[in-house]
Structure 1
Amino acid sequence: MADGIAVLDETASWVLERLEQSDIARSQALNAMLTLAKSRCATDPQVTKFATWEAWVTAMQVGSALFAAATTTEDGVSCRIREETRNLPATGPQTHVNAGTWITSFYLAVICREKERLAELAQVPVSFLRESGAVFDEYIYAWVETLQSFWFSREDTWDKLVTAVDGTSPEATQYADSELMLKILYPPIILFYRYLSRDAGQFGEALTDALKWHKEYWSADEDRSTNSDGLVALGTLAIACLARDAGMPIEVESEYLPKELLEFGWVGEIDT
């Protein structure tokens, strides 16, 4: 695993070095950084090492930077990524700047408690995300709108959330695999529903279920069990961070919820 992480770190550095000039590097950047961040959790499951926290911050910075560059009305944007200021050109709509990567970027910003970046992401129009050309079931756009409305404390948050929940039903989905939907994509949405309800008991039950389903999905076969995507329950962790910061008790402990990410133990350690 240590050798594998070293290779991933080299790949991440290679991508970052080319981020300003290469469309290919920008299309690969978020996945490369998130893979490195999750993989570091294999040997540092509670995120007690600075290098692991730095990897998570870098993934967050990259996700936000891609959307800043895609939506700017200027010629480009200056973004701080891994201790350096990088100048990204304006790109407009891109295949990799889609609803799925928006949600990932939002989750990362929540985990890193980046309020300014969350506000910027919350202003990305759903119509812009549709221009990416990426194909998703409709529920995902309602989920994006839910998170955006929540961030700006809009009255339609509940309505958007109900639309998102309804959109995850088998009858409403066409592209998402049913098992993936049930065990990975749906849990953060229903967990968010419990969070908004501020019912600590029901939230705790939903969190336990989400972690159980995450484990079931990623341990179902050998290919999944060796996939770094399963090392951290990203969406579940993000919603748990919101709940924890709102004063709701998080009583369950899990390798899929790194403690120092959940509790923001590295606050102030990196100038983001």
Structure 2
Amino acid sequence: MTISIDRHALPDGPDAETFAERAHQHLVKEIDRLEESADLIDSTFGTALLTLHARCVVDPRAAAIETWEATVNAMQVSEALFAVTGISEGTVECRIDHKLRTLPAVGPLSTADAGTWLTAFWLAVICRDQNRMTRLCEIPLERLRSPEGQYDAYVYHWVDVLQTYWLRRPGLVDKLITTIETSGPEVARVAPRDLLQGILYPPINLFYHFVRKDEGGFGPALAYALKLHKTYWTLDEDRQSNIRGSIALGPLAIACLAYDGAIPIDVESEYLPKHLLTRGWLGEFPT
């Protein structure tokens, strides 16, 4: 039986369409400027994510190619961020917005950290870009550490789990157990409890069911993750109107792994845009 999780109400209609188009136009201008200077590429990545969320507000099934383009652009900018911050001189070539671009080196940025890495990895998974997934997973974990203690320890264990899984390194089970043990609210102290329980932990739980090939447990865990996502984004009026709640990025990425692994996905929700989950646009244009 298919479980349906309704998305909470978000600002919709002509104003939402206009906002999404303006966000896209602004993003294109920012992307074009990257070839002159990539110093603000983290800001461009923020604009790319905003554009993706805005597109998913007006196109919750990702049935329009503009939504697929927004998803790919966000993925491309996210990987470019790590590419230009991984070197201090020279240039790197990155395909962004249908064009191969030569971007100047930036050197280390504090925003090229574990949290940004997780978002970049989710986007690469959703776009099924295995080459980008590999390049991201080859980034040393030490490079992703925030010197300000911005993240709980489990975040780095979680990144290590995903890199270990994708690169088929040994120790996956032990690393996953450590991640689960250190991500509990009684251990994790940096992230607010509602953020931890509603947004940050559910992908870890889903991944646990995925790697165990737990077909019977994956669907209920996915439904619960979406309910937690909805609860988090409806806690107050400011969150409810925030378009960042339009999709559940982490659960969507793990659901994509499960879908590609032939685990039945018996959950439907606008938090999981159908054509992103079922890779309906894959191969439409070079990524």
Please say whether Structure 1 and Structure 2 have the same fold, judged by a TM-score greater than 0.5: yes
Question: Number of matched residues?
Answer: 272
SS at match of 2:271: coil
Listed one character per residue, the Cα deviations across residues 32-71 of structure 1 (whole Å, up to 9, x for unaligned) are: 1011011111111101101110000000011111112222
CA contact (8 A) 1:119 1:151 kept: yes
Aligned pairs (5 A) from 1:239-250: 239-250=254-265
Task: Assess if the C-alpha contact under 8 Å between 2:198 and 2:232 holds in 1.
Answer: yes
Contact 1:95 1:134 in 2 (8 A): no
- Give the letter aligned to residue 115 of structure 1: Q
Q: How does 1:14-29 map to 2 (within 5 A)?
A: 14-29=29-44
Of 205-214 and 124-133, more deviation after overlay is shown by: 124-133
Asked if structure 2 preserves the Cα contact closer than 8 Å seen for 1:97 and 1:132, the reply is: no
User: 1:130 aligns to what?
Assistant: 145
In structure 1, C-alpha distance between the alignment counterparts of 2:268 and 2:244, rounded to whole Å: 19
Please, which of 188, 192, 207 is the counterpart of residue 207 of structure 2? 192
Distance 2:71 2:146 in 1: 28
The aligned residue for residue 77 of structure 1 is 92
Q: Which residue of 1 aligns with 2:281?
A: 266
Shift of 1:72: 4.3
Structure-2 residue corresponding to 1:155? 170
Unaligned runs of 5+ in 2: 1-15
The CA deviation at 1:106 is 0.3
CA distance in 2, matches of 1:165, 1:88: 38
Q: Is the 8 A contact 2:94 2:100 kept in 1?
A: yes
CA-CA distance at 1:167 after TM superposition: 1.6
Cα offsets for 1:195-239 (capped at 9, x unmatched): 001011111111010011111111121111111110000000000
Gaps of 5+ in 1: none
Tell me, in whole angstroms, the C-alpha distance in 2 between the residues paired with 1:12 and 1:50: 16
Corresponding residue number in structure 2 for 1:253: 268
Structure 1 73/24 Cα, relative in aligned 2: closer, same or farther at 3 Å?
Answer: closer
Amino acid at match of 1:22: S
Report sequence identity in percent: 45
Cα shift at 1:132: 6.2
Contact 2:41 2:81 in 1 (8 A): yes
Kindly tell me: are residues 3 and 255 of structure 1, through their superposed partners in 2, closer, same or farther at Cα, counting changes over 3 Å? same
Listed one character per residue, the Cα deviations across residues 242-265 of structure 1 (whole Å, up to 9, x for unaligned) are 000000000110010000000000
Distance across 2 between alignment mates of 1:233 and 1:49? 19
Quick one: which of 106, 110, 123 aligns to 1:108?
A: 123
Give the drift of 1:131: 5.6
Partners of 1:195 and 1:67 lie apart in 2 by 27
Q: Which runs of 4+ in 1 moved over 4 A?
A: 131-134
Query: 2-side partners of 1:13 and 1:24: how far apart?
Result: 16
Query: Could you tell me whether the CA contact under 8 Å between 2:121 and 2:136 is conserved in 1?
Result: yes
What's the offset of the Cα at 1:141? 0.4
Answer yes or no: is the 8 Å Cα contact 1:94–1:132 preserved in 2: no
Shift of 1:89: 1.9
Aligned to 1:208: 223
SS of the equivalent of 1:182 reads helix
**Partner of 1:90 in structure 2?**
105
Cα 1:23/1:78, change in 2 over 3 Å: closer
8 Å Cα contact 1:96/1:132 also seen in 2: no
- 8 Å contact kept, 1:180–1:217: yes
1:170–1:178: 8 Å Cα contact kept in structure 2? Answer: yes
CA distance in 2, matches of 1:212, 1:97: 30
Cα RMSD (Å) of the superposition? 1.5
Pick which of 7-16 and 255-264 moved more: 7-16
What letter matches 2:222 in structure 1?
A: L
User: Against the structure 1 CA distance between its residues 111 and 134, is the aligned structure 2 distance closer, same or farther, given a 3 Å change threshold?
Assistant: farther
* Structure 2 CA distance for partners of 1:64 and 1:134, relative to 1, 3 Å: farther
Between 14-23 and 141-150, report the one with greater CA deviation: 14-23
Q: Per chain length, whose mean CA-contact separation is higher, i.e. which structure has more relative contact order (CA < 8 Å, sep 6+)?
A: 2
Give the equivalent residue in structure 1 for 2:67.
52
Contact 1:20 1:88 in 2 (8 A): yes
- Alpha-carbon distance in 2 for matches of 1:169, 1:178: 9
Alignment equivalent of 1:183, drawn from 198, 223, 226: 198
Please report how far the alpha carbon of residue 74 of structure 1 lies from its aligned counterpart in structure 2 after TM superposition: 6.5
Q: Secondary structure of the equivalent of 1:253?
A: strand
- Give the C-alpha shift of residue 30 in structure 1: 1.4
